[in-house]
Structures are given as C-alpha cells and as structure tokens.
Amino acid sequence: MMILKLVLPLMSVVLTRGVHGQMVQMDSSKSGFVGSQVELRCQFVNSNPPVKISQVTWQKLVNGTKQNVAIANPALGVSVLSPFKERVRFKNPAIRQRTPSLEDTTIVFNKLKLSDESTYICEYTTFPAGNRENMVNLTVYARPMIQMSLSTPSIVAGTKDLKMTVSTCVSANGKPPSVITWETDLDGESNTQEIRNPDGTVTVRSDYLVVPSREIHQQLLTCISTYNDEQYTDSVMLNIQYEPEVIIEGFDGNWYLNRENVQLTCLADANPPISLFQWRYLNGTMPSTAELRDDVLIFKGPLTYDIAGTYICDASNSIGTGSASVEVIVTEFPSHPHEVSQEPQQAGAIIGGAVVCGTVLLAAITLLVVFCYRRRCMFKGDHSTKKQILGNGYSKAGSAPSHPSLPHSLTFSEDSDEEKNLEIYRGSSILGRSVQEFHSCHDSRMKAYHTGLIEDHERCGRSEQTYIYDYGSEVEVSVDMIPQMDGSVISKEEWYV
C-alpha cells in the first residue's frame, strides 16, 4: 500500500507536465491595410518526449462557423482552399516537403481585402495527445480618399444674411472613419455626417456654411481629415461673384477756369470683371470737350463753366450694374493756389535757394577781397620801417610782445610844442583809446595816465620830439610819422597810397 501511494502522485506530475508542455503559440491580434501583406504566426511547442503531429489546419471563423483556409499534412502535403488559394501561403518552405517539420506553420496573407477581416484558428492534430489550437483576430483597415470641392464653381453673393454651403469636404470609404475639421478665418460653421457602406467602410462628409459676400472672395478654406493619427489636408480658394461697386476719382474740388489736363476715372470692384462702362451727364448733353475712353472721361483744352454739373458712371458685369456720381464745380480762381503748380514751385524754391546761397557766397568773397585790398593799400611799406614807441624795442608789429604797463604820468614843458604835436593822434588809437578822448581829459588825469616825459627839441638839442619811458627806451617821433595800433609809428610817405 505504501508503494502504491508513492507511485500515484508521481504519475499525476508526469501527466500534468505532458498536458502543459504541448501548446500552440499565436499573436492575439494582427492588422493591416487593404492591399497590404500580413503574417499570421502559429508555432507548436512540443513535449519531451515529443508527440506526433498528424496535421495542421488553418480555419476562418465566419458567423460562428469554421471555414478551412489551408491544410498541411506530413504525408499529403499542403493544400490552400478557395477563395484564399491565390493569396495565402505557408511561410516555412519545409512544410511542402515530405515528412516535414510542422512546428512552425505561419501563413502569409497577400493583397488583403476588407472581407479578410475575421478571427483565424490554427489547430494541431497530435497523437496520442489529441488536438491543440489557438486563435488570432485579424483587422483590416482602409485608408479613405479625401476630396474637397466648392459647392458650385461660382458662388453668388446674396443680398440677405443667409448662410449657405460654400465648400464640401469628403473622406470616403475609410475604416475606421476619419475626423474632419476646418481651418479658416471665415466666420462660418460646419455640418458633418457619417455614411456607413456595405463593405464596412465609412464615408464622412462635412459642409462649410457661411454668408457669401464680396469680403470673403478669394479667402482660403482648408479641410483637415485625421485618420489613425495621420492628417490629410486639402484647400480651396473661394470664388464669390458679386455686382460692381463703383467710385469716381479725379475731381479734387479745385477745378477752375482755364485749368488743363483734368479727367474723371471710374473705378469698379467686381467679380466677374466689368464688361461695360457708361458715362452720363445729368445737366443735359455731354459737353463737347469731354472725350469718353471706357472708364475714363477726359476734358480737352482749358476748362470753362460749361463742363460744370453732375456726372454718373455705370459699370456692368454678368451679375449686375453698379453706379457712382460726382458733382463737378468750376470756379474762377484756384481755391488752393499753392497747389496749382506745386511741382514748379518746388523746383523754383530749389533754384531760388541755390541763387541765394551763391549770392551770399559771392558777397562774402567780395568783402574779403575788398578788406584785403584796403589793408594792402593802407600800408604798402615794409613792417620793418615801423618804429616801436610803446613796445619793448621789437620793430616787427607781428612779433611784438605784450606792452609793459602804461606810464603813470606825462608832462610837457611850458614853451614846448609837444601838446600841439599830439594833435596828429586824433582819430587814431593809442593802446585802445582814441586821442580825442585823451585831449578831453583833465591835465591831472593825463599825468596819471602816462609815466613818460616829453622834452622838446630845444632842450634835447634835437629836431624831433623824444619820448622817454621809465624802462629806459628812447624813440624819436617826427611830425611826419603816423602812430599805429600796436604802439609803433610809420612815416606818412609809407602810410598813404
């Protein structure tokens, strides 16, 4: 009894290992797009010792019923049934040989169809263990066809604020269905619906509605179709037709008698383009000086009062006719004189400025020449002929250093002619002061103003007057000599021309 109890658990372990050691390995799910290729893996894990594989059968589960797809038999070979015969094969070439190894019976689907979507079973028939199987779910996707179009080739702008479909975006025969969105600056709305097709695909249609107007003409409208995290875009340019919108240009409010080269221009915004322009004159017959040239009304010759009045331009296209008017007034004189000949005045201003600049430059040059000439005429001698009487002994006026301090007193002898000789200094400048001022001063002021002593020729034994300064220099000055600004003297012969 003890031996039997030990043997039974051992047999149970062996059987368990045998059952769990044999299995069919497959992917739980696979997917592919219509027209593509997909592999359905099926591998048999044998036991040790291995069991004998009698046959492998691939089956498709259709409405709860198994439909054979392909069979591999070691003795009979390989067989693929309709309608898969041209599109299904075993991946392992050894399976087609005699006494093949059937541990790997993966099949390959080519040119997938939507009808291939189903659950597929891989079943192993073994001896003595019996059948072993597993299954895989195959999903077939279909990429949609994206198409975007205008609702009509030409959309006519309406007079009422009614929204209408201006564009349609379609994502057809997709599996799974697409998601359509719109990208635009237009103030509109979308209307989307899904249509399920018999083959399992879905067609998504989205209409975009907006109020047609001239403002949205040539606006861009973009449809975005999102499918399996992939985006497809398509765009259209709106073509909105509308009747002409007209304005008249040319009359600036300053048309006056005898003005020339004036005209009126009719400008029209329209789609389709203007096919006809017509001008009208409300005050009677069109003036004889007015010449019609499509959108332009030209007035020939000088203006007269006869052309005054109201002018109308009519512009027409296939949608309708638009009109505009202008009241022309002719005055006797320009209302803006400075604008009559603005360009000539600008040119005249430039020329006048150039003339003024030239005149100023010429005057400056003339003054410079005159000044130099007068300086030259006033003194034609050599500067070396000057005699310094208030300086420090230098004879050159240009190189004379600064003068010493002014003398503290100046005295004259009672019987000398020095005071009379000083009359030659009137109108000239001595150390920055005029001789005229010098004589008008009081004697005591004169004495305080100068420090030198003047002795006449009788006392000194000389024929000229002598100026003696406290710093020891002595210069003889003749009545024929002219004092200079720098304190020197020069003879009249050298001074005057």
Determine, yes or no, domain membership for 262.
Answer: yes
Q: What is the mean pLDDT of residues 42-58?
A: 89
Tens-place pLDDT, residues 60-105: 999 999 999 999 988 888 999 988 999 999 998 878 776 677 889 9
* Structure-model confidence comparison of residues 154 and 377, the more confident one: 154
Q: What is the mean pLDDT of residues 214-234?
A: 93
Q: Give yes or no: residues 275 and 292 share one domain.
A: yes
pLDDT at 153: 77
Determine, yes or no, domain membership for 366.
Answer: no
Closest alpha carbon to 216 in 170, 155, 160 = 155
Strand order of the β-sheet with 155-156 is 155-156, 240-249, 262-271, 296-299, 290-293
Please list the alpha-helical segments (H only) found in 306-441: 337-340, 342-378, 418-421, 435-440
Q: Give yes or no: residues 30 and 119 share one domain.
A: yes
* Structure-model confidence comparison of residues 64 and 356, the more confident one: 64
Residue showing tokens 């000057």: 386
Q: Give yes or no: residues 279 and 190 share one domain.
A: no
Q: What is the mean pLDDT of residues 240-252?
A: 96
Determine, yes or no, domain membership for 51.
Answer: yes
Q: Is the pLDDT reported for residue 431 higher than 70?
A: no
79 neighbors 70 (Cβ within 8 angstroms): yes
Q: CA 448 to CA 301: how far, in whole Å?
A: 90
Closest alpha carbon to 123 in 59, 171, 76 = 59
User: At which of 82, 111, 141 does a domain end?
Assistant: 141
User: At which of 181, 209, 238 does a domain end?
Assistant: 238
292 neighbors 218 (Cβ within 8 angstroms): no
Q: Give yes or no: residues 166 and 96 share one domain.
A: no
241: tokens are 């037709």
- The CB-side HSE value for 377 (13 A sphere, CA atoms) comes to 7
Cβ count within 10 A of residue 396 = 14
* Structure-model confidence comparison of residues 60 and 419, the more confident one: 60
- The mean-pLDDT minimum among 101-110, 120-129, 231-240, 434-443 falls in 434-443
* Structure-model confidence comparison of residues 304 and 77, the more confident one: 304
Q: What is the mean pLDDT of residues 381-408?
A: 42
Residue showing tokens 């004998």: 52
456 neighbors 465 (Cβ within 8 angstroms): yes
The residue type of 242 is Y
CA of 344: how far to CAs of 339, 341, 489, in Å?
A: 10, 5, 62
pLDDT at 4: 33
* Structure-model confidence comparison of residues 22 and 492, the more confident one: 22
Determine, yes or no, domain membership for 156.
Answer: yes
Cis peptide leading into residue 74 (ω within 30°):
no
Q: Give yes or no: residues 33 and 134 share one domain.
A: yes
Q: Give yes or no: residues 154 and 116 share one domain.
A: no
Cα torsion for 331, 333, 338, 340, to the nearest 10°? Answer: 70
* Structure-model confidence comparison of residues 249 and 345, the more confident one: 249
How far is the first Cα of the chain from the last one, in angstroms, to the nearest whole number? 171
Largest CA distance in the chain: 187
- Most confident listed range (93-102, 265-274, 342-351): 265-274
- Assign 484 a pLDDT band (cuts: 50, 70, 90): low
169 neighbors 193 (Cβ within 8 angstroms): no
Q: What is the mean pLDDT of residues 404-430?
A: 41
- Assign 407 a pLDDT band (cuts: 50, 70, 90): very low
Q: Give yes or no: residues 481 and 409 share one domain.
A: yes
* Structure-model confidence comparison of residues 28 and 483, the more confident one: 28
Mean pLDDT rounded to a whole number for the chain: 76
Determine, yes or no, domain membership for 391.
Answer: yes
* Structure-model confidence comparison of residues 448 and 28, the more confident one: 28
User: Can you list the pairs that 128-135 forms with residues at least 24 positions away whose Cβ atoms lie under 8 Å?
Assistant: 128/51, 129/18, 129/19, 129/22, 129/47, 129/51, 132/22, 132/23, 132/24, 132/44, 133/24, 134/23, 134/24, 134/25, 134/26, 134/42, 135/26, 135/61
Q: CA 375 to CA 124: how far, in whole Å?
A: 135
Determine, yes or no, domain membership for 327.
Answer: yes
42 neighbors 72 (Cβ within 8 angstroms): no
Q: Give yes or no: residues 62 and 135 share one domain.
A: yes
Q: Bridge partners of 456? A: none
Number of domains in the chain: 4
pLDDT at 93: 83
Q: Where are the beta strands (DSSP E) in 144-254?
A: 145-150, 155-156, 164-174, 179-183, 189-196, 202-210, 220-227, 230-237, 240-249
Q: CA 347 to CA 353: how far, in whole Å?
A: 10
Cβ count within 10 A of residue 316 = 19
Q: Give yes or no: residues 395 and 483 share one domain.
A: yes
Residue-range definition of the domain harbouring residue 403: 383-495
Determine, yes or no, domain membership for 373.
Answer: no
Q: Report the SS3 class of residue 18.
A: helix
Q: Give yes or no: residues 131 and 47 share one domain.
A: yes
Q: CA 135 to CA 137: how far, in whole Å?
A: 7
DSSP per-residue codes, 64-117: TEEEEEEEEETTTEEEE-TTSTTTEEES-GGGGSSS---SB--EEE-S--GGG-
DSSP 439: H
Residue showing tokens 């000439």: 373
User: At which of 115, 141, 167 does a domain end?
Assistant: 141
Q: Is the pLDDT reported for residue 278 higher than 80?
A: yes
Q: Burial of 446 by CB count in 10 Å (0-12 exposed, 13-18 middle, 19+ buried)? A: middle
Q: Give yes or no: residues 272 and 332 share one domain.
A: yes
Q: Give yes or no: residues 396 and 317 share one domain.
A: no
We report the CATH number of the domain holding residue 130 as 2.60.40.10
Q: Is the pLDDT reported for residue 398 higher than 60?
A: no
The answer to whether the pTM exceeds 0.85 is no
pLDDT at 188: 93
pLDDT at 77: 86
Determine, yes or no, domain membership for 2.
Answer: no
Nearest 5°: phi and psi at 119? -100, 130
374: tokens are 């007068």
